[in-house]
Chains A and B, each alone.
Chain A
Amino acid sequence: MSHEDQLNSAAQELARALAGLSPTGHRLDRDMLMFRAGQAASRRLLRGWQSVACSLAVLLLGFAWLGHSPALVPTPPQQAKEIRPPVVQPTEVEPDELAAATASRWVSTNLGNDYLRLRARLAAEGLDALPTWETTAAPAPIESVADGLRQGRRQVPRTRWLRRTSEPGGTEQS
């Protein structure tokens, strides 16, 4: 049972009579309504484009400001310092003494930064980057070395870490 059934017959009759009255017409038009809807839609679309354009303008201004700021001056790339191997002047010393002296001098002078540069060049160019020993003294022939040893002008090089024993299985001599 609906609520309206609880109304008495007089009220129901009055409701039917009032519902028969027709409201006054209006000036609204369906075409005008569609036109207004299109206007509103285009306005919304325009507002969207305006917001996009404003965002882009702000971005461009930001980029322009960044472009006018003092840029870092690019430094020219440093030329790699060419490392020349040390030139050993010819002397009247023996070849093995000459080699030892040259190596010790080279190590003492070039073991710092030059060593690092040499290592870098070795990594880049390979074994060709190794310095060559430019000596004018020709190596002594093996016969002259043997004669020198025999006549006592040369001594057999002894190393510290080699130990001589008197006889096989004997005690060590320092």
Chain B
Amino acid sequence: MDSTTLGEIGRWFEEESTALVLYARQWLDPALAEDAVQDVFVSLMQQAQPPSQMKPWLYRAVRHRAFKHLRARRRRVTREERVASEGSPWFEPRPDDAVDAQQAELALRALPAEEREVVTLRLWGGLTLAEIAAVTECSLAAVFRRYHAALERVRQQLGASCLTKIN
């Protein structure tokens, strides 16, 4: 792999690593999520040719890697690890946020896993619904249905406080 491609991969790392770690954290604790993302970039550098569609490839690779870690660690996860994982926030609260970060995280955690995955890929990964369908290996209609349902659930979960903050 030449230096131009390595530079391009470095740029993708700078731009997407945060969203990729957030995506992996749906299934893994923070440390394992970071390991999964790092493994994906290392394997990307070992490829002779970079993938044609880099962004969907990265999310699909992180998804596979996260499932692999999850299967390996499922039996070994202790209660302390689960608590530590839940204690680490998903979002950094900022004063100019339109919604409360903590409440948004709670609402997202309450979602079914497949709906949460679609929302994460769309809102923080920036993938189109067609790309999400390719990553999650389901139909476009199913992706849209999950996305719409997830937003409805979050809106109901956040309630009036969220709506007033938005407005």
Residues of A within 8 A of B (CB): 2-4, 6-7, 10-11, 13-28, 30, 32-34, 36-37, 40-41, 44
Of the candidates B17, B33, B46, B158, the one whose C-beta lies within 8 Å of that of A37 is B46
Asked whether A15 and B13 contact (CB < 8 A) given A26-B34, A33-B41, the answer is no
A115 to B155, CA, bound (A): 117
Q: Are A11 and B101 closer than 8 Å at their CB atoms?
A: no
B18-A25 in contact (CB<8A): yes
Contact across chains for B38 and A33 when beta carbons are under 8 A apart: yes
Residues in B with CB closer than 8 Å to A10 are 155, 163
- CA separation between A14 and B104, bound complex, in Å? 11
- Interchain Cβ contacts within 8 Å, total number: 109
Q: Tell me whether A26 and B30 are in contact (CB under 8 A).
A: yes
Cβ–Cβ contact A24 & B46, under 8 A: no
Q: Known contacts A11-B148, A11-B152, A14-B155; is A28 also within 8 Å of B34 by CB?
A: yes
State how many angstroms separate the Cβ of B101 from the closest Cβ of chain A: 6
Q: At the interface, yes or no: B160 with Cβ under 8 Å from chain A? A: no
A2 closest partner in B (C-beta): B129
Interchain CA distance A25-B88 in the complex, whole Å: 11
Segment with Cβ contacts to A, from B50-58, B59-67, B91-99: B91-99
Given that A21-B97, A23-B92 are contacting pairs, would A15 and B151 also be in contact in the complex, using a CB cutoff of 8 Å? yes
Q: Which residue in chain B gives the minimum CB-CB distance to A11?
A: B151
Q: When the two chains form their complex, are residues B42 and A36 in contact, meaning their CB atoms are under 8 A apart? A: yes
Residues of chain A contacted by B94 (CB below 8 angstroms): 22
Find the B residue at minimum CB distance from A41. B46
Give the contacts of B138-154 with A (CB-CB under 8 A).
140, 144, 147-148, 151-152, 154
Are A16 and B90 in contact, with the CB atoms below 8 A?
A: no
Q: Look across to chain A and name the residue whose beta carbon is closest to the beta carbon of B31.
A: A27
Q: Are A33 and B13 in contact (CB under 8 A)?
A: yes
Query: Please, how many angstroms separate the alpha-carbon atoms of A22 and B162 in the complex?
Result: 17
Complex CA gap A76/B151 in Å reads 98
CB distance from B134 to the nearest CB of A (A): 15
The 10 closest A-B pairs by CB, nearest first: A17-B98, A23-B22, A37-B45, A3-B144, A19-B123, A21-B91, A11-B151, A26-B21, A17-B99, A37-B42
Q: Is the CB of A40 within 8 A of B155?
A: no
What residues of chain A lie closer than 8 Å to B37, measured between beta carbons? 26, 28
Q: Does B127 contact A (CB under 8 A)?
A: no
- Check B166 against A19 for contact (C-beta < 8 Å): no
Q: Check A40 against B42 for contact (C-beta < 8 Å).
A: yes
A-side contacts of B10, CB under 8 Å:
30, 33-34
Known: A33-B38, A37-B41. A20 touches B97 (CB 8 A): yes
Are A22's CB and B46's CB within 8 A?
no
A37 to B13 Cα, complex, angstroms: 13
B112 interfacial contact with A, CB 8 Å: no
